[in-house]
Structure 1
Amino acid sequence: MENPITQLEQLTLTNASKSFLRETAKWAKFLSIIGFIGIGLLLIGSFFIGSLYENLPQTAGLPFNLGIFMTIFYIIIALIYFFPVYYLFQFSKKMKMALLTKNDDTLADAFEVLKSHYKFLGVFTIIIISIYLLIFIVGILGFAFS
């Protein structure tokens, strides 16, 4: 009788496949830890960048406080960055557990979290490209009508 993790309907995980997944989980954990450190630095830096922008002389003519705006902007970037990093960390944890316990459900959960990671990155990429396209169109129209 085969182990549940080695026979997935008609897909077999060989020892090489398990080794690759184990190594992938290690790299995912490393990258997620670096990501969490980056998020922490972004949050800490958000307060310093705010005070830096408050003291700049060229911001005196603005109708709003640029320092508070930059602080909020950095916090929002950190929140957006949190989700793919968290998904990557969860994938790492669940993949290591699945390979250790040979549990099909845990393996499926690990791949589900990895799917969520890539889905988030894909949707975010589409949003960013759309914003760039909109800026490009507005720039072209602004140049044409000036």
Structure 2
Amino acid sequence: MEDFEKENPEETTQNEPQEVEEVLLTVTEDIRSYIYETARWTKFLSIVGFVLTGIMILFSFSTGAIITAMNVSLGGAANNPWAAFGGGFLTVLVLLFALLYFYPSLLLFKYANSAKQAVLFGDQPALSVAMGKMKSFFKFWGIITITVLGLNTISFLLGVVALLGAGSVAS
């Protein structure tokens, strides 16, 4: 066997594990400044999101009073289209929207903190966390967008069916 290896050295080198060069991304100063500026704007947007979430939560607990005031100003519950839903349902609905708005704001806030730490201290794990949060943010809004487009399509199709049904009843 040793004679074979001496005569054919190519055979032995092909079976040995070869070192693979690891390709690393280079973060230049321009990229660092872009990430840092993005982190600052992202933190601003996340704080605005937290404030709006708080306002939505406060608003949700006043929906019953708002419906009552609308009933008085519109001359009774029969003239108020929101009265049919009731204050409890609208409270839960607004709280649901507040929760949907809070989650992406939280992701943005975590991205901003991790990205800033990564840029200022050259912290590779923090940059990885930041990119993970940004991925989750865009994935969340992608799913919401697909859901809204799907519901709009279903609503449109139901409207067409209702219109065709109303047309056939009128004939």
Shorter-chain TM band = 0.7 to 0.9
Query: Residue 61 of structure 2 aligns with which residue?
Result: 47
Q: CA 1:133–1:49 in structure 2 vs 1: closer, same or farther (change >3 Å)?
A: same
Query: Residue 77 of structure 2 aligns with which residue?
Result: 58
Provide structure 2 residue ranges, at least 5 long, that are not aligned to the other structure: 1-21, 167-171
TM-score for the superposition, normalised by structure 1:
0.87
Query: Matches of residues 84-95 of structure 1 in structure 2 within 5 Å?
Result: 84-95=104-115
Note the C-alpha offset of 1:141.
Answer: 0.3
Query: Matches of residues 61-100 of structure 1 in structure 2 within 5 Å?
Result: 66-100=86-120
Between 1:40-49 and 1:27-36, the stretch displaced more is 40-49
TM-score for the superposition, normalised by structure 2:
0.75
Q: CA 1:61–1:125 in structure 2 vs 1: closer, same or farther (change >3 Å)?
A: closer
Opposite residue 137 of structure 1, the aligned amino acid is L
Opposite residue 86 of structure 2, the aligned amino acid is L
Structure ranking higher on relative contact order (CA contacts 8 Å, 6+ apart):
1
Q: How far apart in 1 are the matches of 2:23 and 2:118?
A: 16
Opposite residue 139 of structure 1, the aligned amino acid is G
Q: Contact 2:115–2:126 at 8 Å: present in 1 too?
A: yes
Note the C-alpha offset of 1:63.
Answer: 9.4
Query: Residue 127 of structure 1 aligns with which residue?
Result: 147
Q: Contact 1:47–1:71 at 8 Å: present in 2 too?
A: yes
Query: Residue 136 of structure 2 aligns with which residue?
Result: 116
Q: Deviations over 1:102-145 (max 9, x none)?
A: 12111111000000000000000000111111111111101101
Q: CA 1:62–1:108 in structure 2 vs 1: closer, same or farther (change >3 Å)?
A: closer
Q: Deviations over 1:78-114 (max 9, x none)?
A: 0111111110000001001111221211111100000
Opposite residue 87 of structure 1, the aligned amino acid is L
Asked which structure has the greater CA Rg, the reply is 2
Instruction: Tell me how large the CA RMSD over aligned residues is.
Output: 2.1
Q: How far apart in 2 are the matches of 1:116 and 1:128?
A: 18
Q: How far apart in 2 are the matches of 1:93 and 1:33?
A: 12
Between 1:62-71 and 1:42-51, the stretch displaced more is 62-71
